[in-house]
């Protein structure tokens, strides 16, 4: 199993941030989105927030990253992403078209 970490910012607007959090409460993420995430081999996914910065932790069964091609072909996923895009803003160093930016580990206590 592999873990991947990603970062993304939300618009710096308290009301929008609260709404984004409501969308991510249990039972509010559309069932089609949950099914798509699981079908991609994601075993666990968590999103953390501090201020307007988000960090997403994705644990994959097979170690691969989430399939962008599969998501691009799924109308419900595209609808969800468009909805969430209204709350999100790209990190300054994100590549064109990139929302969640992969993070690189720089320290491990286990390896020290």
pLDDT (tens digit per residue) in 13-48: 999 999 999 999 999 999 999 999 998 889 999 999
pLDDT of residue 1: 81
Phi-psi label, residue 97: left if phi above 0, alpha if psi -120 to 50, beta otherwise: left
Answer whether residue 95 shows pLDDT above 90.
yes
Domains annotated on the chain, with CATH: 2-98 (3.30.70.1090)
pLDDT (tens digit per residue) in 54-88: 999 999 987 555 566 666 678 999 999 999 999 99
Measured between alpha carbons, how far is 3 from 24 in angstroms, rounded to an integer? 20
State CA 84 to chain mean position distance.
10
pTM above 0.85, yes or no: yes
């Amino acid at each position: 199993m592999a873990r991947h970490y990603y970062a993304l910012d939300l618009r710096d607007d308290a009301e929008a941030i609260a709404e984004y959090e409501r969308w991510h409460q249990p039972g509010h993420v559309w069932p089609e989105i949950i099914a798509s995430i699981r079908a991609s081999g994601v075993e666990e996914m968590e999103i953390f927030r501090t201020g307007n910065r988000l960090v997403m932790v994705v644990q994959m069964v097979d170690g691969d990253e989430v399939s962008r091609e599969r998501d691009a072909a799924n109308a419900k996923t595209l609808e969800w992403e468009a909805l969430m895009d209204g709350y999100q803003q790209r990190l300054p160093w994100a590549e064109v078209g990139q929302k969640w930016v992969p993070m690189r580990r720089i320290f491990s206590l286990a390896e020290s």
